[in-house]
A and B are shown apart, each in its own frame.
Chain A
């Protein structure tokens, strides 16, 4: 079993819609959770971090964490074509970081 699981996609949404990206993790003692965006040929770019159960909002992005279900999600409101990228979920346990394989998002104009 992989430490972090993501649906590889592609997830296609029309411009202006809400994109919902999901991630599950296996290690119950994981403490920190992150979402990164990676454009083709580029390095990952941090979008958000979340450490406590519940929702955290930053602009058009909302991260949701449910430690009991070992589940993290990212909502992107008012999706734009420039949001088209691969979204990576990362889970940290003190000094080890685990990434999922990423979900490819396509936002269609």
Chain B
């Protein structure tokens, strides 16, 4: 069974640039959630993708957007990068069915983004 993978591991960008982060979900999983984790804080929920559609969003501006592909992998795109976007970006995958209320999420290793 293959776990959740993310790429790249580290990334350095400058303010105003755009970035794309990638996530491959664990085998058998159909849902991907993205989180931002600043140093010393817990992960903050950005959004979730289920059946290739955004299905739940946290308090993040529209410049944070995403995609989910038919193979359930996902991308997180961030436009107009700001210094405060520097953080660890985590992807978590899970298996859920429509209407399910309880499903466990498993995290990938994360992408460390630094904005200069």
A residues contacting B by CB (< 8 A) are 4, 6, 31-32, 34, 36, 42-46, 49, 51, 88, 92, 94-102
Pairwise interchain contact B101-A32, C-beta atoms closer than 8 A = yes
Pairwise interchain contact A99-B110, C-beta atoms closer than 8 A = no
Contacts of B55 in A (CB 8 A): 95
The verdict on A101 contacting B108 (CB below 8 Å), with A31-B101, A32-B102 known, is no
Pairwise interchain contact B42-A96, C-beta atoms closer than 8 A = no
B residues contacting A by CB (< 8 A) are 33, 35, 40-45, 48, 50, 55-58, 88, 90, 101-110
- Subset of 23 A-B contacts with CB under 8 Å: A6-B42, A31-B102, A32-B103, A42-B109, A43-B107, A46-B107, A94-B56, A95-B50, A95-B55, A96-B45, A96-B48, A96-B57, A96-B58, A97-B33, A97-B35, A97-B48, A97-B105, A98-B45, A99-B43, A100-B42, A101-B40, A101-B42, A102-B42
Pick the contact of A88: B43, B48, B104 (CB < 8 A): B43
Pairwise interchain contact B101-A43, C-beta atoms closer than 8 A = no
Contacts of B106 in A (CB 8 A): 46
Give CA–CA (A102, B39) in the complex, Å. 12
Give CA–CA (A96, B35) in the complex, Å. 11
Pairwise interchain contact B42-A45, C-beta atoms closer than 8 A = no
Give CA–CA (A98, B59) in the complex, Å. 11
Pick the contact of A49: B44, B56, B104 (CB < 8 A): B104
Give CA–CA (A69, B105) in the complex, Å. 25
Pairwise interchain contact A43-B110, C-beta atoms closer than 8 A = yes
Pairwise interchain contact B102-A49, C-beta atoms closer than 8 A = yes
Pairwise interchain contact A97-B109, C-beta atoms closer than 8 A = no
Pairwise interchain contact B45-A45, C-beta atoms closer than 8 A = no
The verdict on A44 contacting B43 (CB below 8 Å), with A95-B48, A97-B33 known, is yes
Across the A-B interface, give the 8 residue pairs with the lowest CB-CB distance, nearest first.
Answer: A95-B56, A99-B42, A43-B107, A32-B102, A31-B101, A101-B42, A99-B43, A96-B56
